Structure 1
């Protein structure tokens, strides 16, 4: 009986947490499809017959589309570079021995605890010196910054997956004539796919949600969607309808990515939970 009460209490708590989370989302969605004069009276009082999709087209054609393209370029480029660096480094730390291995790994992991605010201002002169503050080079510049912050997390997350691969598989590949990189690409990467996909989702969401680095390091033509949404929230303008519509549009790419890769993500979480 006690066990049943605990289960009921747990489900009740989870249900309450779900309601607390979903009410703001429902409110934002309702404001996004209502005319401003309706939503200001309280979206729960509005007439459903007045619902419209005009707010989405207005905010998208009003400039948010350009910010969304910038975010996609930044997020995809950042994830690809971080993944390329992180998988190679994680495999090396998990399967190889070399001098100062522990020290280097510890230094890389410290990037997970360094606040981004500390290095932003010192980064600006480096951007200018390297020519990463002009034109499309800004995409590469901020992608490298995201890689610097995401590499430690990728190594920490993926090392356990590479460590769990049986040595016999790697040795068999080497006996068959495969080199170190061939064993890595043909054996290790496919077996670590759940962990890799989990990292892709987490890193994509982190980069997509970035505001501070995009606002500080990029010019007006290359800033991400988070900056575009912040610009809509001007004190002298009442644009709750456009802000809500833009917010709904902004969360669609991460949600779509999660929906497409969900089964791998769940496998990655459970695999990571049982590995030493």
Structure 2
């Protein structure tokens, strides 16, 4: 063993501390084994007995509508004979609700053997008069009776959906298609509201080379509506860069 220790370069170190090389080698091996044992113990202690999760943790709904969260609780212990790793898992709903909101779960507990999972549904009903600044942060906590320190939790958020217009300008054409400086040109386009809220009192502004050359205002577009706009203008010398934008949104 001395030869092996010498091969590892421990001879010089052993001489400095007054030990035989093979004794130093054994001490190092013992130290490594102790460190591995400590790491294994820490990993076992850190392992969660249960897991709780939701694939969707955020829902946006209209006032008066219901948000539903599908939540899974899993016993992460290994299955053993005679249900030695069976857990009775209590469920708790934590979090305040805005006035007029309600929340409930369809399960109060689970009885799960090692490796088994259970599904529960958290339902959050919003108030018909809920405003945009109202929201609910509801946490579902799962606590195994046998191992209360191994509790786990998942947080959910329910918000009121914001409705807004989404205006786009499409189908831009010019008549005539080809033109030169001094020609009178008519540029046409379509304004579409692809959002889920009305656009009121909007204006479409027409620019040539960065200069405003036309404006069409007082337009109202409900969701899904389209409006055709036309701008006659006189072409100048040069490139005539054209741009349009919507104001008032």
State the TM-score, normalizing by the size of structure 2.
0.21
Which of the pair has the greater relative contact order for Cα pairs under 8 Å at 6+ separation? Answer: 1
Higher share of residues assigned strand: 2
Q: Which structure: larger Rg?
A: 2
State the TM-score, normalizing by the size of structure 1.
0.20
Higher share of residues assigned helix: 1
